[in-house]
Structure 1
Amino acid sequence: MAKKQGNFLNTRWNLRRPVPKMWVELSVGMPKERGGGIQQLFKVRVDGCHLCDYRSKNRVMNAVIKKLLQSGNYPKSCPLLPNVNYTSIRFALNPDHFPAYMPDMKFNTKIDFYADKNVPLIKASANVEVIRRQS
C-alpha cells in the first residue's frame, strides 16, 4: 500500500493434522548501531491455547496480541483443527499502540508458533519501522 495509508500483513494457514497444544513465542529486537547484530528488547513464550486470556505488563505486547486476534479467525482454545483456513486479514499496528515517549525507530519482530515446547509449527519474522506522522 502507499506509505501514507500504512502497511499491513495478511496470512493464511491450513493444518494437515490437529494440533492439541500450541506455544507462541514473540520477540522484539533492534539493530545494534555498532558491530551489527540484534539487541533483544524482550522475548516471551506463552500458551497459545489461552492467548485470548493472556495479559502482559508490556503495553506493546498486549497491543500486538490484541490486533493479531482481532485480525484473524483464530480459535479461542485448542485444539487447532485440520483443514480449516486460519487467516489474518490486514494485521497492522497503529503508532498509537506505542507509548508517546517511544521515538521513531526500526526493529525486528519474530512470532514463532510451536506444536510442542520445541517442535516448530510456523515461524514469522518482520522488519518494522515506527514513524509518527505529523498532523
Structure 2
Amino acid sequence: MIKWFCICGVFIFVNAFMDERNYRIVLDEVNITNIDPEVFVRFDCQLHQINNRSYYDSTRIFKYDIDDFWIHTELAFWKLNNQKMRIFDVKFDVCNFLNNIQKNRLLNIFVKNVKAHSNTEMKCPFKANESYSLEKMFFDEKDFPANVPLGKFRNLIEFLINQKLSARLVIKGRIVPH
C-alpha cells in the first residue's frame, strides 16, 4: 500500500512539472531610461512578439569598467479583480547575485534566463566597451508554477552604478489564458 502511494505521489509530482501550462506570459512594453549618460555608451532594448511568445533583446556597453553594480527591482501584480500584490522589492549586488543561488525562485528564473541568452559571460568587473547583450530572452511558463493567476504585472529595475541611479527599466506585461 505504501509503495502504491509513493508511485502515485511521484507520478503526480512529475506531471505537475511536465504539463503544458494553461497560461502564457506576455510582455507588452519595455522602456529604458538612461539617467546617467556618463555610464553607458549604449543601453537599449527591443521587444518582439513571435509565434505567440514575447522575446526581449537588450545591449549594454559601459564607458568604463564597472565593479560596483547594484540593482533595485520590484515586481507588482494585479489580479483580474484589480487586487494588487507586491511579489518582491529587493536591492542586491549584481556581482554577488550572478555568482550565487538566490533564495527567491523568481530571481533564480531570471538569472537562468540571463545566462542562457547572453552573448558573453556576465561577471564582474564588467568591462568598458564590451557588448553585454541578451538575445531572444523569454520566460518559459514551464519554469513557473502550474497555477499562476491571470492578471497584469509591472517590473521596475533600477541600475545603480557606484551607488548612483544610472538607468531605469520598466517592463509591463500580462498573464493570459493559453
Output the TM-score relative to the length of structure 2: 0.63
Q: Any gaps of 5 or more consecutive residues in structure 1?
A: none
Q: 1:108 to 1:24 in 2, by over 3 A?
A: same
| Residue aligning to 1:54 | 100
Cα distance in 2 between the residues matched to 1:7 and 1:64: 15
In the alignment, what sits opposite 1:26? 73
Q: Distance in 2 between matches of 1:31 and 1:105?
A: 5
Distance 1:3 1:89 in 2: 13
The equivalent position to 1:63 in structure 2, one of 101, 109, 120, is 109
Shift of 1:42: 0.8
- Partner amino acid, structure 1, of 2:77: M
Q: Which has the higher strand share?
A: 2
Tell me how far 1:58 sits from its aligned partner. 2.5
Partner of 1:14, secondary structure, is strand
Q: Which moves more between the two structures, 51-60 or 90-99?
A: 51-60
Report the Cα distance in structure 1 between the residues aligned to 2:51 and 2:125, rounded to whole angstroms.
39
Q: Give deviations 1:29-68, integer Å, cap 9, x for gaps.
A: 024827xxx6532111121112222333322221012112
| Aligned residue-pair number | 129
Q: Matched residues, percent identical?
A: 19
Q: Which runs of 5+ in 2 are unaligned?
A: 1-47
* Separation in structure 2 between the aligned mates of residue 92 and residue 115 of structure 1, nearest angstrom: 26
- CA shift at 1:5, angstroms? 3.1
Distance in 1, matches of 2:128 and 2:50, equals: 37
**The structure with more radius of gyration:** 2
Deviates more, 1:84-93 or 1:49-58: 49-58
- Give 3-state SS (helix, strand or coil) of 2:154's partner: strand
- For the 8 Å contact 2:57–2:136, the answer to whether it is kept is yes
Instruction: Give the C-alpha shift of residue 81 in structure 1.
Output: 1.1
The 2-side partners of 1:56 and 1:132 are apart by: 29
Query: Are 2:119 and 2:135, in contact at CA under 8 Å, matched by a contact in 1?
Result: no
Structure 1 pair 72–121 and aligned structure 2 pair: CA distance change class (3 A): farther
Alpha-carbon offset, residue 96 of structure 1: 1.6
Q: Relative to structure 1, is the Cα distance of residues 132 and 67 closer, same or farther in structure 2, using a 3 angstrom cutoff? A: farther
Q: Which amino acid aligns with 1:8?
A: Y
Normalised TM-score (structure 1): 0.80
SS at match of 1:96: helix
Residues 69 and 13 of structure 1: CA distance in aligned 2, closer, same or farther (over 3 Å)? same
Q: CA RMSD in A?
A: 2.3
Alignment partners' CA distance in 1, 2:93 and 2:108? 14
Change in CA separation of 1:45 and 1:74 when aligned onto 2, cut-off 3 Å: farther
Partner-residue secondary structure (3-state), 2:64 = coil
